Chains A and B, each alone.
Chain A
Amino acid sequence: MTAGQDEPIFDLAIVGAGPAGMAAAALAGEIGLSTVVLDEQPSPGGQIYRNVEHAGGVPLPGASREKGAALAAAFRATALDYRPGTGVWHIETHPGEPCRLWLLRDARVGQVRARRVLLATGATERPVPVPGWTLPGVLTVGALQILLKSAGMVPAGPVVLVGNGPLLYLTAVQLAAADTRVAAVLETGAKADLRAALRHLPGFVASGTWRAGLALLREFRALGLPVVRDVSEVTIEGGDRASGVRYRTADGQSGTVPAEVVALHEGVIPASSLARAIGCDLVWDAGQATFRPEIDTWGQSSVAAVQIVGDSAGIAGAEAAPLAGRIAVLEAARAVGRLTEAERDRRAAPFGRALSSLLRGRPFIDRLYPPRLARSPLADPVVVCRCEEVTAGAVRAALASGASGPNQIKAFLRCGMGPCQGRFCAPTVTRLIAEARGVPEAEVGSFRLRPPVKPIPLAAFAAAMEEDAP
């Protein structure tokens, strides 16, 4: 379990083998950095290109599949230490010393050391707390896509998709192509969203991403699925499991759709648990309505040895992720003395230009598909923290009796202290506090996170220690 003095110290440890991590690793190998890549998935690809090396996988739209396969092939062809099935649950960073990454693989604890760390941990879906969202049969839209991509599985009965955003439309198209009965798409939104987005249309057009976006929307509309627009309230019905969805629209229409599977989605937010636990500074991103790590153009975080790229640094999508990964690796190579500043700048310039053009397209998408249910008024009985079953009412009561910030709510109610470590309640808790105190979310902040960022079974330590024993 211990990394002895004779263990290698890598130049670079990359956490995550999605498009950002794969591209970063391939370039790091090419430059000659000794690199270890850690990812808890069994194969490279990340979220978008999950299982991409597998021929039987699900068709991705357009040229996506080839892009993912090319990234994975270049990654595999590079000499590096790739460890799939390996979760990183803590990183120790001390100035002037190599970083120590704590790992969990096959239910055993381990560790590895590196001079620099690149976090490319991607995104998770934004929590959409609605009445009934803890019932079996309720999943995220991303979860349905994962079942399709990794196991070729689809809902057996009628499914209702609730929310908005590109991933929801993409998954609807993929499910329909796989003969799934989509009983309804309850699109959350408001008439004002389009107006707000239009201001950012020029950037979207200039970015070139509009082609793929428009093609996807056309495909989605062409399916002729029952779509209800401007949905503003949703309740999932059911006793022991979900049986349907009751909804109401902004202009007062309402209805109920029976369903066997209900899938929620209102966009993705950065997976920043490791960054937080390390102590990287966060900023509030108003456009994306989320906290994200504060980074410079090289992906450099506020912690000297740590860079953050791809969706884990702020949602920018699968095209931007490899560019950001490469740019960051060039800076890491400079930091360890492998490239001069001039070489770094020269090689980064084309990536930088392509990236800034792509990033100009993002505000349009963010404004067109803002979180709606995830930010609409929450009734007291709605569960906010799924792990500890803390309701919105309990959070409000704690605030009324003197708790003032996220960490006090955590201490009072155990909210955010369960196994998910606040991944699915932190944004809601911050919002409830902001509403109650009448201050902006940026000022409220979020939970302080302590390692481990994932619960480690005690037996995992025991297993590693037994192996170490002579």
Chain B
Amino acid sequence: MFRRRAQSDPGLPPVSIRFEGRTIAATGGETLAAALLAAGEEVFRASPVSGAPRGPFCLMGACFECLVEIDGMPGQQACMTIVRDGMDIRRDRIVEGEE
């Protein structure tokens, strides 16, 4: 759904992350949301009410649609998190009433 423009900064170090077990190449300094979108992932979680697929909406930390589980800690905003090498990410699985 999104592509990186050719002239993305060569000075930034490549990092490797995992999403639902799949290895994804990302760029140091970018947000986790950007890295996942660039890798073609657009569903970050299921709505805890209906289970409908949800993905990033505002990308500025206000809508909480991009919540994911990072290294075992759920409920984290992918758009406000900078990628780190080795990050292990899963779709957020918080279900209504279990929080």
Q: Please give the distance in Å from A415's CB to the nearest CB on chain B.
A: 11
CB-based nearest B residue for A179:
B5
**Chain A hits for B55, CB < 8 A:** 136-137
In the complex with contacts A137-B1, A152-B5, A153-B38, A418-B64 CB distance below 8 A? yes
Most B CB contacts (10 A, CB to CB) among A179, A261, A271, A420 go to A420
Q: Chain B contact residues: over half helix, strand or loop, or mixed?
A: loop
Chain A residues near B76 (CB, 8 Å)?
107, 457
CA distance A73 to B34 in the complex (A): 26
> Bound state CA distance, A146 and B62, in angstroms?
13
Give the distance in Å from the alpha carbon of A278 to the alpha carbon of B9 in the complex. 41
B residues 52-94 with Cβ under 8 Å of A? 52-65, 67, 70, 73-76, 79-80, 82
Tell whether A125 is near chain B: CB-to-CB under 8 Å: yes
**Which chain B residues border A156 with CB–CB below 8 Å?**
1-3
* B58 close to A139 (CB less than 8 A): yes
Which residues of chain B come closer than 8 Å to A455, judged between CB atoms? 64, 75
What's the least CB distance linking A168 to chain B, in Å?
15
A150 with B2, Cβ < 8 A, contacts A419-B75, A420-B63, A457-B74 known: no
Contact with B along A384-414 (1 / 0, CB 8 A): 0011110000000000000000000000000
Nearest CB of A to B13, in Å: 14
Interface size on B, residues (CB 8 A): 44
B34 near A142: Cβ-Cβ < 8 Å: no
Instruction: Report if A241 contacts B (CB, 8 A).
Output: yes
Q: Which of B43, B60, B80 contacts A47 (CB 8 A)?
A: B60
Q: Which residues of B contact A151 (CB under 8 A)?
A: 4, 8, 27, 30-31, 34, 38
CB <8 Å contact, B49 and A143: no
Q: A134-172: which residues lie under 8 A (CB-CB) from chain B?
A: 134, 136-140, 142-143, 146-147, 150-157
Query: Which residues from B are CB-within-8-Å of A142?
Result: 58-60
A414 to chain B, nearest CB (A): 9
Given A151-B31, A153-B37: A124 in contact with B2 (beta carbons within 8 A):
no
Smallest Cβ distance from B6 to chain A, in angstroms? 9
Residues in A with CB closer than 8 Å to B59 are 139-140, 142-143, 146-147
Q: Which residue of B lies closest to A178 (CB)?
A: B5
Contact with A along B17-30 (1 / 0, CB 8 A): 00000000001011
Whether A40 contacts B61 by the Cβ 8 Å rule is: yes
Interface bits A237-260 vs B (CB < 8 Å: 1, else 0) = 000110000000000000000001
Looking at the complex, which one of A124, A137, A150, A178 makes contact with B58 (CB distance below 8 Å)?
A: A124
Residues of B within 8 A of A139 (CB): 56-59
Number of interface residues of A (CB under 8 A): 49
- A 56-82 to B, binary, CB cutoff 8 A, 1 in contact else 0: 100000000000000000000000000
For A202, the chain B residues whose CB sits under 8 A away are none
Asked whether B8 lies within 8 Å of A152 as measured between CB atoms, the reply is yes
User: How far is it, in angstroms, between the C-alpha of A359 and the C-alpha of B53 when the chains are bound?
Assistant: 42
- CB of A459 within 8 A of CB of B73, answer yes
Interface presence of A226 (CB below 8 A): no
Compute how far the CA of A147 lies from the CA of B67 in the bound complex, rounded to whole angstroms.
Answer: 17
Is A423's CB within 8 Å of the partner chain B? yes
Expressed in whole angstroms, the Cα–Cα distance for A152 and B29 within the complex equals 12
What residues of B have a CB within 8 angstroms of the CB of A419 in the complex? 64, 67, 75
Chain A contacts with B in 111-138, Cβ cutoff 8 A: 124-125, 134, 136-138
Q: Given the complex, which residues of A lie within 8 Å of B52, measured CB to CB?
A: 134, 389
Interface residues of A in 339-354 (CB under 8 A from B): none
Chain B residues with Cβ below 8 Å from A299 are none
Least Cβ–Cβ distance between B45 and chain A, in angstroms: 10
Contact of A423 among B54, B63, B73 (CB under 8 A): B63
CB–CB B80/A386 < 8 A: no
Nearest B residue to A51, CB-CB: B29
Distance (whole angstroms) from the CB of B49 to the closest CB of chain A: 4
Residues of A within 8 A of B34 (CB): 147, 150-151, 153
Roughly how many angstroms separate A352 CA and B54 CA in the complex, as a whole number? 45
Cβ-defined partner of A138 (8 Å) among B38, B57, B61? B57
Knowing A139-B57, A143-B56, say if A153 contacts B31 (CB, 8 Å): no
Q: Which among B2, B54, B61, B67 has the greatest number of chain A C-beta atoms within 10 A?
A: B2
Question: How many Å lie between the Cα of A178 and that of B7 in the bound state?
Answer: 11
Picked from A124, A155, A420, the residue with its CB within 8 Å of the CB of B1 is A155
Q: Which B residues are CB-close (under 8 A) to A146?
A: 59-60, 79
Cα A424 to Cα B58 with chains together (Å):
10
Chain B CB within 8 A of A87 CB: yes
Q: Contacts A143-B60, A152-B8, A420-B63 given; 19 further ones with Cβ under 8 A?
A: A47-B60, A54-B9, A87-B80, A107-B76, A134-B54, A142-B60, A143-B57, A143-B59, A146-B59, A150-B30, A152-B7, A153-B5, A153-B37, A179-B5, A241-B53, A386-B65, A389-B52, A423-B62, A457-B76
Which B residues fall within an 8 A CB radius of A? 1-5, 7-9, 11, 27, 29-31, 34, 37-38, 42-43, 47, 49-50, 52-65, 67, 70, 73-76, 79-80, 82
Write 8 A-B pairs (CB below 8 A) sorted by A numbering.
A54-B9, A139-B59, A143-B60, A151-B30, A155-B2, A240-B53, A271-B62, A457-B73
